Amino acid sequence: QKEVEQNSGPLSVPEGAIASLNCTYSDRGSQSFFWYRQYSGKSPELIMSIYSNGDKEDGRFTAQLNKASQYVSLLIRDSQPSDSATYLCAAILYNQGGKLIFGQGTELSVKP
Amino acid sequence: GAGVSQSPRYKVAKRGQDVALRCDPISGHVSLFWYQQALGQGPEFLTYFQNEAQLDKSGLPSDRFFAERPEGSVSTLKIQRTQQEDSAVYLCASSPRQGNTEAFFGQGTRLTVV
């Protein structure tokens, strides 16, 4: 089992819809989780961090964390074509010395 | 500097050649991470420093890969006797302190081994 797992997609949604991206992790000791966006040919860009159970909202983005289920999600409301990118979930593995590990990424395509 | 800086941006190496990739983290950042990213994949962890201490090198694929951060700032990833399977984008990220903090990436170095 990979330490951080995501559905690779591609996920396709129409413009204006809600995009839902999911991630699971294996290290129960992990406390810190991140979502990065990566456009083709570019480096990952941090868009959200979440440390506590529940929801965290920032503009059109909402991150959700459920530590009991070892599950993290990212919701993008009112999706725009400019949101089309690969979304990477990441976790700091406290039981492995604090290294930052990424999932394989989910490709999102927002159709006009 | 304003952000994480990596050099060179692009490197073409002949098989068997040694290469050195440089990462300049954000000033004052304690933690530094190196990743290897193949096309269509997520970043794969290579190694991790806190200041000058290399805390984890479990992701280095072979003993041809070596990383250092001698003064706790600039880091160099060295690959000896490059092979075609080493072709990838090498990403560096830094964060202000260990643990519960966000990491920021450089632009990456695209290595092509021919």
pLDDT of residue B2: 81
> Which residue is listed with tokens 């991630």?
A23
pLDDT of residue B100: 64
Average pLDDT over all residues of chain B: 95
Q: Are B7 and B110 in contact (CB under 8 A)?
A: no
Three-class SS of residue B48?
strand
- A85 close to B (CB below 8 A): no
Rounded mean pLDDT, B5-21: 98
φ and ψ at A81, to 5 degrees? Answer: -55, -30
Helices (H), B1-114: none
Grade residue B1 by pLDDT with cuts at 50, 70 and 90: low
User: What's the gap in Å between the CA of A107 and the closest CA on chain B?
Assistant: 9
Give dist(CA B75, CA B52) in Å, integer: 9
What would the pLDDT profile of B57-106 be if each residue is shown by its tens digit?
999 999 999 999 999 999 999 999 999 999 999 999 999 976 668 999 99
pLDDT of residue A98: 83
For the record, the structure tokens of B78 come out as 């060295």
Q: Is the pLDDT of residue A8 over 80?
A: no
> Which residue in chain B has the smallest CA separation from A93?
B99
- A39 close to B (CB below 8 A): no
What would the pLDDT profile of A32-64 be if each residue is shown by its tens digit?
999 999 999 999 999 999 999 999 999 999 999
Give dist(CA A17, CA B22) in Å, integer: 42
Rounded mean pLDDT, B17-21: 98
Three-class SS of residue A85?
strand
